[in-house]
């Protein structure tokens, strides 16, 4: 099976490519390797995939490409003729969307449409794409359920992810493309993103630098371990989105449709207080954090908490790695990668 992963030099893309190669799939990765965060980490991920594939004689190919480049993307699809597309390429980050909104329109809207146009043209069997828990925006009913409306985003990043869901639904309706959207909740683990709290906090604690704690610490997150996310995506590859035969047009369920489009939360179904999360990091690292309490940032939310009943009912699995174990594995990798310590 030929599987094309966009954003393959990213955190989730790297882990997913490794998992799918181990399952003897033919994997083609696309990434523009931009400088949103340190390129070295992205290049090191790609290097690991290259070495891993050579050692095990797996079918791996990487193409440097921006999904916003329509002609380049079409040429790749023509040459490769993939069966399945997993779109993880996107301009990430809530805070950066306040500084550089055009980057989000280019990648998350234009690039996303380019990929869907190729799905239409080349008869893709299964399209899976990354959405975000950010789409819940101003919602206050917890845990967040896919069955509630998400029409009140509080950041441009969230708005582009909500747009992805709407655009994917439209293509599914018009061209019968099976599309599955994944609302990811604060994914963390080895090879994680440097712009996210786990990496920012760990780096600062190790280097004896202050960490900024927004909303004066009165925040909670549903932290989701990377291996759980990869397991879910892997299972969804073999189970494309289906039609909801009982879809009620008078009382529509936002998580499903009369066409093959579905949306799932990928979270741990637990909400962890930010200060508790920092305490777990401190214990695992063996050092106390220097804390600087700050007001809430524009575009941020106080709490995230995923209802995972839908994903469990669909694939018989849901994320469940305990935060203490996940942080232990993350810090173990961090030490090895940054300090060459086992």
For residue 82, report the phi and psi dihedrals to the nearest 5 degrees. Answer: -70, 160
Within 10 angstroms of residue 61's Cβ, the number of other Cβ atoms is: 14
Q: What is the pLDDT of residues 5-28, one digit of tens each?
A: 999 999 999 999 999 999 999 999
Task: Tell me the domain boundaries of the chain.
Answer: 2-188+224-269+305-321
The residues that are catalytic are 157
How many whole angstroms separate alpha carbon 45 and alpha carbon 56? 17
* Gap between the terminal Cα atoms of the chain: 36
How many whole angstroms separate alpha carbon 182 and alpha carbon 235? 13
Quote the distance between the C-alpha of residue 1 and its chain's center. Answer: 23
Nearest to residue 67, comparing CAs of 107, 18, 36, 104? 107
pTM of the model: 0.95
Q: H or E element: which one contains 265?
A: strand 261-266
* Burial of 134 from C-beta contacts in 10 A (0-12 / 13-18 / 19+): buried
Taking the domain 2-188+224-269+305-321, which CATH number applies?
3.40.50.720
Residue 132 pairs with which residues in a beta bridge?
Answer: 184
High-pLDDT (> 70) share of the chain, %:
99
The pLDDT of residue 272 is above 80: yes
The pLDDT of residue 342 is above 80: no
High-pLDDT (> 90) share of the chain, %:
91
Q: What is the pLDDT of residues 196-231, one digit of tens each?
A: 999 999 999 999 999 999 999 999 999 999 999 999
DSSP string of 36-96, one letter each residue = SS-HHHHHHHHHHHHHHHHHHT--EEEEE--TT-HHHHHHHHHHH--SEEEE------TTH
Q: What is the pLDDT of residues 95-132, one digit of tens each?
A: 888 889 999 999 999 999 999 999 999 999 999 999 99
| Mean of pLDDT over the chain | 95
Q: What is the pLDDT of residues 59-83, one digit of tens each?
A: 999 999 999 999 999 999 999 999 9
pLDDT computed for residue 189 by the predictor: 98
If DSSP codes are grouped into helix, strand and coil, which group holds residue 297? coil
pLDDT computed for residue 320 by the predictor: 95
Q: What is the pLDDT of residues 305-333, one digit of tens each?
A: 999 999 999 999 999 999 999 999 999 99
How many whole angstroms separate alpha carbon 136 and alpha carbon 145? 9
Q: Contact 318/229 with Cβ under 8 angstroms?
A: no
pLDDT computed for residue 90 by the predictor: 94
């Amino acid at each position: 099976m030929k599987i094309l992963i966009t954003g393959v030099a990213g955190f989730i893309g790297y882990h997913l490519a490794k998992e799918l190669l181990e399952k003897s799939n033919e994997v083609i990765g696309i990434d523009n390797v931009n400088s949103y965060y340190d390129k070295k980490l992205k290049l090191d991920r790609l290097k690991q995939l290259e070495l891993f594939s050579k050692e095990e004689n797996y079918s791996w190919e990487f193409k440097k490409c921006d999904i916003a480049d329509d002609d380049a993307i079409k040429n790749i699809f023509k040459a490769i003729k993939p069966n399945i597309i997993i779109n993880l390429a996107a301009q990430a980050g809530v805070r950066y969307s306040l500084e550089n909104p055009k980057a989000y329109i280019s990648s998350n809207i234009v690039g996303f449409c380019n990929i869907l146009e190729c799905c239409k043209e080349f008869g893709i069997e299964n399209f899976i794409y990354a959405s975000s828990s950010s789409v819940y925006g101003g919602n206050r009913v917890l845990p967040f359920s896919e069955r509630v409306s998400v029409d009140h985003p509080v950041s441009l990043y969230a708005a582009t992810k909500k747009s992805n869901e709407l655009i994917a639904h439209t293509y599914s309706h018009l061209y019968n493309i099976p599309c599955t959207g994944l609302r990811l909740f604060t994914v963390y683990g080895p090879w994680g993103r440097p712009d996210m709290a786990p990496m920012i906090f760990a780096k600062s604690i190790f280097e004896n630098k202050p960490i900024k704690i927004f909303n004066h610490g009165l925040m909670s997150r549903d932290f989701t371990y990377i291996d759980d996310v990869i397991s879910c995506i892997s299972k969804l590859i073999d189970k494309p989105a289906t039609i909801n035969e009982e879809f009620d047009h008078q009382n529509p369920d936002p998580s499903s449709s009369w066409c093959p489009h579905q949306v799932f939360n990928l979270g741990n179904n637990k909400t962890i207080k930010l200060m508790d999360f920092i305490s777990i990091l401190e214990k695992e690292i063996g050092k106390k954090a220097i804390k600087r309490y700050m007001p809430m940032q524009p575009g941020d939310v106080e709490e995230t908490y995923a209802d995972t009943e839908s994903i469990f009912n669909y694939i018989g699995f849901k994320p469940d790695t305990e935060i203490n174990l996940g942080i232990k594995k993350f810090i173990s990798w961090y030490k090895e990668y940054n300090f060459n310590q086992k």
